[in-house]
Structure 1
Amino acid sequence: MSLPSMIIKLTLGLLWCIIHLAISLLSLCSHLIFNLECSLISSGLLWKYRNLQLGRLKYLAIVVDSREAKNTVKINQLLYWLKTLGVKYVCLYDIDGVLKKLFEPGMNGSRDNNPGDYLDVSANIKALDCCQKQMTIECISGSDGKEGIAKAANLLCSSYLNGDSYTQENVKSEENVKNEPVFTETDMASALKSIGCAGPEPDLLLVYGPARCHLGFPTWRLRYTEIM
């Protein structure tokens, strides 16, 4: 290998190392700045985060990864933090229904009237929702999405076959063409409400998970929702 080739190779290698080091330093600085800002916000040192304007936030939805949902301590801390902020309605979601299993016994009460047998987080949620009446909590899972839309579709189909008025009015007919049912958004909303899968649309959806998506949260409740 000639000397110029070696010089070029060493130069390119050194340049790659410098670029890699610069990117790593920028990433580290960004991570440190983010953690510092979070610490300052939590401690209340940043004035602009002391008085949050939550008047327009009527419904808040939180999507949690099912593995993280098992950490009841963090979930409990999150809910109490939201309560102190003045949030009135919270919808908790995880795809496997872990939150449902944890919270529903404490919210509905036990058969033997001994709620102490349940997890502390369930008892705390019961106190929040049933006693203080300061925050309403809804727990849903992936079954409310897939099974809900399937049940709504079956209801619309059976209603159309049975000749119900609200579906027959939306049948599109053309000459020499077989009649095809046309279901509107209103029809679907009515069907979802009939099977108990309808609910208020959250103003804000917070996602805590490995993927940047809503993880199966019912999409018909996200028409005008901001996702973070």
Structure 2
Amino acid sequence: MMALVYEFVWRILHALLHLQRALICWFRIRLWNWRLWKRAVAALLVPVALSFQNHKKLGPSAGKRSLRRVRWGADGKSLEKLPLHVSLLIAEEELHYTDIANLVVWCMAVGISYVSVYDNQGIFRRNNSRLMDEILKQQQDLLGLDSTKYSVEFLNNKNEKQDHQVLSCQAVVKALSPDDGKPSIVKAAQDLCRAVEKKDRSSKDIDIHMLESILRDSTHIPDPDLVLKFGPVESTLGFLPWHIRLTEFISLPSHTDVSYEDFFSALKRYATCEQRQGK
């Protein structure tokens, strides 16, 4: 009888031992699979984490600048007609350098080659360096481009070129004042009269084309295709009377806090306008 009991207990223990071994083997297999799964997940997530870290290093502003630059370039190419020279005529008492600098940078970003800035007090011209410094600052803030690849030329009061490595296209910027208007016409006429008096020129050679050539050489930039006038005053305020015979004028309420959408809307209006060239 006892022998049967011992055999029964032995069989139970033997079964439990097999069950323990089976459970250990099962746990080992699950643990191994878990480790493989963890490695697989890590292999997938590590590149994502690294790319996220790299993106964080670039910063959200860098991504926004890149998107804006691409958008502005595409906007310029989408226009049926893009002005070669845009002039910003400020007919307001308070002048905000940052807002003007934004407009200049937007002009260059869409592909406009010449930009001039005018106020009837000549404030921008007298503070030419301050304006240009603000343009450089806003260029970096808005576009963040590699400054070694692109250049812009600033023309100072003496029409001397000052090269700075900035902006996405070769562009020329100049601050204008009333001295570049009627006084420049008077000076050109006086120079022609002196040339005739000294017999360097013949009076028969003097015509409109010669005067136009002298005036264009004095500004070192082509005639403006588009003038964006800011402010409530319905006047050109003495702005280049000779150079604007074929210029399109578009008025905006104010240059203060002007948006890119307002600026681009004006460019679209210019692109669709019909210029009859005096016909």
TM bin, normalised by shorter chain, reads: 0.5 to 0.7
1:201 paired residue number: 223
2:207 is equivalent to residue 184 of structure 1: yes
2:176 is equivalent to residue 132 of structure 1: no
2:129 is equivalent to residue 95 of structure 1: no
Mapped partners of 2:117, 2:226: distance in 1: 12
2:183 paired residue number: 147
Mapped partners of 1:227, 1:77: distance in 2: 20
**Match 1:169 to one of 194, 204, 228:** 204
Q: TM-score, normalised by structure 1?
A: 0.56
- Contact kept in structure 2, 1:189 and 1:198, CA below 8 Å: no
SS at match of 1:227: strand
CA-atom RMSD in angstroms: 2.9
Deviation at 1:131, TM superposition (A): 1.1
2:91 is equivalent to residue 65 of structure 1: yes
- Contact kept in structure 1, 2:76 and 2:110, CA below 8 Å: no
Mapped partners of 1:164, 1:126: distance in 2: 47
Instruction: Pick closer, same or farther for the CA change 1:106–1:218 going to 2, 3 Å.
Output: closer
- Contact kept in structure 1, 2:105 and 2:138, CA below 8 Å: no
Instruction: Pick closer, same or farther for the CA change 1:126–1:98 going to 2, 3 Å.
Output: farther
**Match 1:76 to one of 101, 108, 129:** 101
Instruction: Pick closer, same or farther for the CA change 1:156–1:198 going to 2, 3 Å.
Output: farther
2:134 is equivalent to residue 121 of structure 1: yes
Matched AA of 1:53: L
1:10 paired residue number: none
Task: Note the alpha carbon deviations across 1:12-32, whole angstroms, 9 max, x for none.
Answer: xxxxxxxxxxxxxxxxxxxxx
Task: Note the alpha carbon deviations across 1:150-199, whole angstroms, 9 max, x for none.
Answer: 2111111111222233x3324xxxxxxxxxxxx421221243356x2463
Instruction: Pick closer, same or farther for the CA change 1:94–1:154 going to 2, 3 Å.
Output: same
1:31 paired residue number: none
Instruction: Pick closer, same or farther for the CA change 1:106–1:64 going to 2, 3 Å.
Output: closer
Instruction: Pick closer, same or farther for the CA change 1:63–1:54 going to 2, 3 Å.
Output: farther
Aligned residues: 153
- Kindly name which structure, 1 or 2, has the bigger radius of gyration based on alpha carbons: 2
Matched AA of 2:234: R
Deviation at 1:122, TM superposition (A): 5.4
1:226 paired residue number: 248
* Range that drifts further, 210-219 or 51-60: 51-60
Mapped partners of 1:79, 1:56: distance in 2: 15
Runs of 4+ more than 4 Å apart: 49-52, 125-128
SS at match of 1:132: coil
Mapped partners of 2:237, 2:189: distance in 1: 22
Deviation at 1:63, TM superposition (A): 0.6
Deviation at 1:84, TM superposition (A): 3.1
Percent identity between the aligned chains?
A: 25
Task: Note the alpha carbon deviations across 1:110-168, whole angstroms, 9 max, x for none.
Answer: xxxxxxxxxx5154379773212523211110111132112111111111222233x33
Deviation at 1:208, TM superposition (A): 1.0
Tell me, which stretches of 5 or more residues in structure 1 are unaligned?
Answer: 1-48, 108-119, 171-182
Q: TM-score, normalised by structure 2?
A: 0.47
Matched AA of 2:210: D
